[in-house]
Amino acid sequence: MAGRRAVILFLGPALLAIGIFFVVPVLAAFVLSFTDFDIYALGNFDFARFVGLKNYAQLLADPLFWKAFRNTLEFLLIGGPLSIGVSLGAALMIQSKLVRWKGFFRTAYFSPVVTTLVAVAVVWRFVYHPRFGILNYLLSLVGIRGVDWLGDQHWAMPAIILMAVWKNFGYNMVIFIAGIQNIPEELYEAASIDGAGRFAQFRSITIPLLAPTTVYISILTMIGYFQLFAEPYVMTQGGPLNSTLSVVLLMYQQGFRWWNMGYSAALAFVLFAFILIGSLIQSRIQKRWEA
Amino acid sequence: MKKTGTVIMYSVLLVAAFLTLAPLVWMVSASVMPTGDASAFPPPFLPSRITFAHYERLFTSLNLARYLFNSAFLAISVTAISLIVNSMAGYAFAKYRFRGRDPLFKLLIASMIIPSQVTMLPLFLMLNKMGFINSYIGVIIPGMASVFGIFLIRQFALSIPDSLIEAARIDGAGDFRIYRSLILPLCRPVLLTLAIFTFMGTWNDFLWPLIVMTDDSMYTLPVALANLSLEHVQDTELMMAGSVITVAPVLILFAAVQRHYISGIMAGGLKE
């Protein structure tokens, strides 16, 4: 097919937009991370100077950064597997032959996914209210004394994780359902004829065949969970005692509240590096499985 | 044996469905409770009497109509513009042969791993120089094209037979005519899916509008709500009314088009 002009016409707008408003900013952020760009430079770019690796060195020596890093990692390593586990459990139950009304359950579980994060974070702030919250009330019914979820530095992150699992599990559940539907029925029939029980079938057919889906979901979930921001912003502002401060929240505060843009850019690249390393590890695990 | 299994399964599923929907139902219920009612022990699940005073207050003295307009205007604009830009690019990647096409496409896909936060600082400085901070354009610009959108359209457009395009060409249709009158109608299902994704994504977005919109009158609903909720911590019922208004449009949209939305996610998930 000919039509050089057509290609330029069709691709031009998209490539121009991505080039100017994505590629250039990424490169600029990289340069920015080696400068001391601050509020003075905001008025006149000439005030920014190259400082080499100073931002990165400062970052690695900053206890606040390590706090934010540990918090984000906690959110990721506990919240990630938890939400994937709930997604898988929900998908398996909905797809079970015993269950009807699949559409209803699927829609019910999925509805938190489409809601606005800020709005549901506002709602959950009241769910977690120490005196009038529903959660502590439900706990009191079974004789458990509630805690000040968002006001206690040991419970604030678990509370945010619980809300995130509630908000997100429907998304991965739908991908798992698609994966389960893709497993050929004949495999189960053949196994059944060979005398394999339900559990054996689950272990040697369902689990291995869902492995690629699981890796895909893990990478997506990890990328999303690394970017934790709105939940602590609305529910705790990173507190109490910075126990819910995340890397992106720190980046936002440094960059857009204190205008330490050079330092903030370094933080952004550290975030990127984490995501890259995490994805590489996971895709390597996948390759090993396939080999 | 099989029967008890079924009972257990349904019990778990129903309890889980209740727990999943409870916060949303409570949000709606508390939004129509008289002031102070929600702050009681045990927390009431249903209102003692129904009042719409909080909604009224949001619209009369808290400027909510403006935020609603900002959110709707931005979500619709970004959806419309990105649909055109992405569909053209996706079609070109699927059906035109040109040098460097496949490496370029792979490069775009690989770039998806870069988190958008990386671009935010320079983008802010850029838009600041151009005078687009605190303007609609500032929010629309980064949403104009998306690699995800291009990818989705390309995958769909690949399945359109070349013979159809050839036939149109022989009939004398030009490149743009083919795109407009043949490709776009054929791509309707995927365009609808992408439109829903983009609309919801823009509506729910928080960090970027929070950065760009510096003036109260330019806030989107999530930004305004986050701001209000920090000021009116004690006003439970009022905040629930604000949350309902923020969430309702996307939930209603989801209810109307959920088949398209969910099948879009399934398709994306299976293809990698």
Over the stretch B7-23, which tens digit does the pLDDT of each residue have?
A: 888 999 999 999 999 99
Band of the pLDDT at A53, cuts 50, 70, 90? very high
Give whole-number Cα distances, B6 to A88, A105, B131, B272, in Å.
18, 15, 62, 34
Return the DSSP state at B159. T
Cα atoms found within 13 Å of the Cα of residue A205, Cβ hemisphere only: 20
Q: What is the pLDDT of residue B269?
A: 55
Specify the pLDDT at position A84.
Answer: 96
What six digits make up the tokens of A14? Answer: 């998209």
Q: How far from each other are the two terminal CA atoms of chain A, in whole angstroms? A: 40
Do B89 and B104 touch, CB atoms closer than 8 A? no
The residue-averaged pLDDT of A59-84 equals: 96
Contact B24, A115 (CB under 8 A): yes
CA-based nearest residue to A233, from A256, A250, A221, A218: A250
Q: Give the A window 217-236 contacts with B, CB below 8 Å.
A: 217, 223, 226-227, 229-230, 233-234
CA distance A158 to chain B (A): 17
Nearest to A268 among B24, B118, B247 (CB): B118
Q: Name every chain B residue with its beta carbon within 8 A of the beta carbon of A98.
A: 2, 5-6, 9
Q: What is the pLDDT of residue A216?
A: 87
The answer to whether B201 and A224 have CB atoms below 8 angstroms apart is no
Strand partners, A50: A35
Q: How far is CA A97 from CA A108, A188, A218, in A?
A: 19, 12, 27
Start-to-end Cα distance in chain B: 40
CB neighbours (10 Å) of residue B75? 25
Distance CA B38, CA B42 (A): 9
Nearest C-alpha neighbor of A172 from the set A97, A73, A85, A286: A85
Q: What is the pLDDT of residues B149-167, one digit of tens each?
A: 999 999 999 999 999 999 9
pLDDT tops 90 at residue A267: yes
Q: Give the pLDDT confidence of B23-82 residue by residue, as tens digits.
A: 999 999 999 999 988 888 888 889 989 999 999 999 998 999 999 999 999 999 999 999
CB within 8 Å of A196: residues ≥ 6 apart: A204
- For chain A, the DSSP string reads ---HHHHHHHHHHHHHHHIIIIIHHHHHHHHHTTB---HHHHH-GGG--B-TTHHHHHHHT-HHHHHHHHHHHHIIIIIHHHHHHHHHHHHHHHHSTT---HHHHHHHHHHHHHS-HHHHHHHHHHHT-TTT-HHHHHHHHTTPPP--GGGSTTTHHHHHHHHHHHHHHHHHHHHHHHHHHTS-HHHHHHHHHTT--HHHHIIIIIHHHHHHHHHHHHHHHHHHHHT--HHHHHHTTT-STTTT--HHHHHHIIIIIS--HHHHHHHHHHHHHHHHHHHHHHHHHHHHHH-
pLDDT at residue A261 in the model: 95
Q: Give tens-digit pLDDT for A168-187.
A: 999 999 999 999 998 888 88
Cα–Cα distances in angstroms (integers) from residue B38 to residues A70, B131, B142, in the given order:
36, 45, 40
Q: Nearest C-alpha of chain B: how many angstroms from A209?
A: 12
**Tokens at A57, concatenated:** 């060195």
**Size (chain A), residues:** 291
Q: What is the pLDDT of residues A9-35, one digit of tens each?
A: 999 999 999 999 999 999 999 999 999
| Percent of chain B clearing pLDDT 90 (strictly above) | 81
- How many CB atoms are located within 10 Å of the residue B13 CB? 21
The residue with tokens 């009330």 is A137
| Residue from B9, B26, B119, B121 whose CB has the most chain A CBs within 10 Å, to mutate | B121
Tell me how far CA of residue A180 lies from CA of A162, A166, A208, A220, in angstroms.
26, 22, 11, 18
Alpha-carbon Rg for chain A in angstroms: 24
Predicted structure pTM score: 0.93
And the tokens for A246? 């995340």
Of A200 and A78, the structure prediction assigns the larger pLDDT to A78
Q: Is A6 left (phi over 0), alpha (psi -120 to 50) or beta?
A: alpha
Contact A17 B144 (CB under 8 A): yes
Over range B183-209, report the average pLDDT: 94
CA nearest A236: which of A248, A227, A228, A245?
A245
Please report the pLDDT score of residue A3 as a whole number: 76
Task: Write down the ipTM of this complex.
Answer: 0.91
Compute CA A130 distance to the chain's CA centroid, rounded to the nearest angstrom: 27
Q: How is chain B split into domains, by residue range?
A: 62-231
C-beta of residue B208 within 8 angstroms of C-beta of residue B139: yes
Neighbours of A9 (CB within 10 A): 15
Rounded to 10 deg, the angle between the B117-130 and A24-32 helix axes is 100
Closest by CA to A14, choosing from B88, B60, B39, is B88
* A13 with B41: Cβ contact below 8 A: no
User: Between A and B, how many residue pairs show a Cβ–Cβ distance under 8 A?
Assistant: 273
- pLDDT score of A202: 85
pLDDT of residue B272: 38
Q: Which of A7, A8, A11 to probe by mutation at the B interface, max B CB count within 10 Å?
A: A11
User: What CATH topology corresponds to B62-231?
Assistant: MetI-like fold (1.10.3720)
Mean pLDDT of A213-233: 92
Query: For residue A35, what are the β-bridge partners?
Result: A50
Using a CB–CB cutoff of 8 Å, tell me whether A133 touches chain B: yes
Looking at residue B40, what DSSP letter applies?
A: S
Calpha distance B94→B91 (Å, rounded): 5
Cis bond before residue B222 (omega within 30° of 0): no
The whole-number pLDDT of residue A1 equals 47
Q: What is the mean pLDDT of residues A48-75?
A: 95
Domains present along chain A, CATH in parentheses: 62-290 (1.10.3720.10)
Residues of B with Cβ-Cβ distance to A264 under 8 angstroms: 121
Mean pLDDT of A190-204: 86
Which amino acid is it at A32?
Answer: L
Which residue, chain included where needed, has tokens 């042969």? B97
pLDDT in tens, B243-262: 999 999 999 999 998 887 88
| Rounded-to-integer distance, Cα B114 and Cα A223, Å | 9
Mean pLDDT rounded to a whole number for chain B: 92
**Cβ contact (<8 Å) for A9 and B247?**
no
Sign, CA dihedral B121-B122-B123-B128, equals positive
> Can you tell me the distance from the alpha carbon of A141 to that of A284, in angstroms, rounded to the nearest whole number?
47
